[in-house]
Structure 1
């Protein structure tokens, strides 16, 4: 009996010790660096692809004006790099749906330039390393073609927008198919093409930084499992926080026909109190859903891995060129996770969006 009691007490003390243990190291407290710090502002955004077809992109003007006034030196966007898409294509058993959904097929650009994604990516880096102070229109058309071959459509559009209207024509690696593609991107309702690329062109930047990551994607084992997981997570999402979130979003969406209304929406999406609302309505609810398969916990695990890898991609840009100011434009549900992860890094300092958007 005494041995049993002692074993129970020891197990209890061990459990308390485990619960009380912390990481023992906090990178957030160690941010002393030589030279200017890396500054990052994470702008949470709705996905503009879901906005009404009659939305006038001119209403984004006041938002872009404020972002431009902050003068970011790089702009990261929620899209996959060509190199990741190239890697995902090599494992169709796991990533076929991901590639179909998130990767542009650069076959037209490969045919026009003769370069596949890795070769085009290498050529982009080589040319940018020796980029002239005053590139010609021919330089920019060729760079746009290379970016398309590298599956970096946002950066290709930046080069296209930096050309005078009369210089936006075929030539230097751009054929009529690629020109048509670039003109399509100019009008596409997507935050990368309507906000990030015009802002980069206005600031005199040469490219965007794709930082999304879908390497944590994995298909369900069969249709039955997919259906069951979808039902479990949808049930978890049916909660009071989701109802409040939808009501607030509907009210904000009603004002997006004007620049003032767009600004009001972005201020609300980036307000600190949104973090808890998003968690309660989505990931927190999923973590507590009671299916025997723990579908919600699998979903939340995927979400954390994706955000960690996105944060690593952002940090990688800073590591290559320390001491810069970066704007990250990302879906609003990612914003607060990215801020939390980035704030743990020694050489990253967060900038409050409220001060910029006010």
Structure 2
């Protein structure tokens, strides 16, 4: 019996060691193509969330970073936002996504009332309009597309159309009522990088829309929310997190000038930032000791979310091979998105360093 036990133990130990040592031989990142023709290029700009900036922040100081991004001339711009289609989907499962809907999904009912289109119909209508979009659309066509985007839950793309209109043409009509006009006027100045940076840049470059690529389908409620939250907060209490917080505070203190804004973006896109973020956040959560393994649940959610975000970005590039795509996303996502996108055969990840110097 002792011999059988020893044999089984050796087999288990050998299997565990083998699993740890095994590396798949197939590595997509080393099989880049195509041999001829332009590859897809993606530049992931890690951004601070402007909603957390002090009230004294002047959006005009973003023009320096906007100028540099405009010089790269992306063909498409993707943002950290949920698509109207995903919000429409998760609204069907409120038992799981109640908090997600409240935090990330705008209710398109006012736009539906104005246009007569629900989210699926508006999504199809926007696609139809864009496929037949003229080189020089009228103001009425832009107002109509803005209204359709709003009905489809695509607020940032509606703002792009709004910004492309002359000031005198930013008025009700063609599906926009007075309430939607008021909404668009507020959104264009919303303290959010998707509007103050991405939407303005898209309008400046002559784009017709933005591409929301965030994903919250991995969201779920823990059976013990308090215990889960306490465990994660405890894991986050560490020297790396404190160092990152101090550095962020110092950078925010210099936001009064375009140079200060550029300095913040340089810091948030430096390799050291991602390493420090991992040490203080997901690396710490991996070792969180609760019996329920709350930290590993959190890391699983985070990796799943980023994988799906990367998939959404790749999906857009597949529509028009050879494009240059800018991704404006919270800085904590940058390292993960670059690593996942680097695995794609037809994607070249562009270094933000030279652009931000």
Do the two structures share a fold, i.e. TM-score over 0.5? yes
- CA RMSD in angstroms, aligned pairs only: 1.0
Q: Give 1:155's aligned residue.
A: 157
Which deviates the most, 19-28 or 195-204? 19-28
Pick one of 58, 72, 75 that aligns with 2:74.
Answer: 72
User: How far is the alpha carbon of 1:112 from its aligned partner?
Assistant: 0.5
SS of alignment partner, residue 291 of structure 1: coil
1:12 to partner: Cα distance:
2.9
Name 1:280's counterpart in structure 2: 279
Do structure 1's residue 135 and structure 2's residue 137 form an aligned pair? yes
Question: Under a length normalisation based on structure 2, what TM-score does the superposition of the two structures give?
Answer: 0.98
State the shift of 1:3 in Å. 4.3
CA distance in structure 2 between the partners assigned to 1:284 and 1:254 by the alignment = 28
Q: Show CA shifts across 1:214-266 (max 9, x none).
A: 00011122xxx111111111111000001110111111000111000000000
Aligned to 1:15: 16
Query: 1:50: Cα distance to partner?
Result: 0.7
* Aligned counterparts of 1:108 and 1:35: Cα–Cα separation in 2: 45
User: What are the residue-to-residue correspondences of 1:1-358 with 2, within 5 Å?
Assistant: 1-33=2-34, 34-221=36-223, 225-358=224-357
1:2-46 Cα offsets, whole Å, 9 max, x none, are: 444444433333222222211221000011214210000000111
Write the distance in 2 (CA, Å) between the matches of 1:119 and 1:7: 60
Query: Where do 5+ consecutive residues of structure 1 fail to align?
Result: none
Q: Secondary structure at the match of 1:187?
A: coil
- Deviation string for 1:132-190 (max 9, x for gaps)? 01111111011100100110010000000001111111111111000000000011100
Structure 1 CA distance for aligned equivalents of residues 29 and 91 of structure 2 = 37
Report SS of the residue matched to 2:271.
coil
Instruction: Return the alpha-carbon distance in structure 2 between the equivalents of residues 83 and 4 of structure 1.
Output: 56
- Unpaired runs of 5+ residues, structure 2, are none
- TM-score norm. by structure 1 comes to 0.97
Structure 2: how far apart are the matches of 1:95 and 1:271?
A: 34
How far apart, CA to CA, are the structure 1 residues paired with 2:67 and 2:127? Answer: 29
Distance 2:151 2:7 in 1: 68
Distance in 1 separating the partners of 2:102 and 2:128: 29
For residues 296 and 157 of structure 1, what CA distance do their matches in structure 2 show? 38
